Homo-oligomer: A and B are copies of this chain.
Amino acid sequence: MSVIDENLKRLDIILPPAPKPVAAYVPFVEAGGFVYISGQLPSRDGKVVYVGSVPAAIDIPTAKQAARLATINALAVLRDAVNTDWPRVLQIVRLGVFVQCDPGFDQQPQIANGASDLLLSIFADAGRHARAAVGASALPLNAAVEVELIVHVRPG
């Protein structure tokens, strides 16, 4: 069992099957040593479970959980991308977080930490990533957050 599997187990995270794209694209593309993972939503069993705009419809701690769940889905895609061979993951390179929020809301970083903290917990130094977190007026399926990853990998 790799250290990544151990970390997932320690955190009581069972990666789900990778979510199916909600439209005409693919969950990931690997090219030139990078895996690009499509924007992931906070969904479970095919249903978005954290919806609405922060803070009117969903509070910050809950939206942070949404960011964590969307990241778990991104990791389910990454697992498929590396064919469960976690040591192929060299570095989480970039995390993009879009937070559906009301105008004037300015605490996107706290919410995005739900994603960042999880990546650090699981990948340690290899999980230290660059990040952009911004507000969005609207997101697919009314999701509270959308999370995107670029990962540097060793060729398989």
Contact = CB atoms under 8 A, between A and B. Distances in A.
B23 A110 contact: yes
B34 A32 contact: yes
A19 to B, nearest CB: 13
Given A91-B29, A116-B24, A136 B135 contact: yes
A72 interface: no
Nearest to A90: B31
A132 B38 contact: yes
A53 B135 contact: no
Q: How many copies of this chain sit in the oligomeric assembly?
A: 3
Contacts of A104: 53, 138, 142
A140 interface: yes
Nearest to A98: B134
B38 A131 contact: yes
A38 B134 contact: no
A42 interface: no
26 contacts: A22-B109, A23-B109, A23-B116, A24-B113, A24-B117, A24-B120, A26-B130, A29-B91, A29-B130, A31-B90, A31-B152, A32-B34, A36-B94, A39-B131, A39-B133, A96-B132, A100-B135, A101-B137, A102-B137, A106-B139, A106-B140, A106-B142, A108-B138, A132-B148, A134-B139, A135-B138
Interface of A: 21-29, 31-34, 36-39, 53, 90-96, 98-110, 112-113, 116-117, 120, 128-143, 146, 148, 150, 152
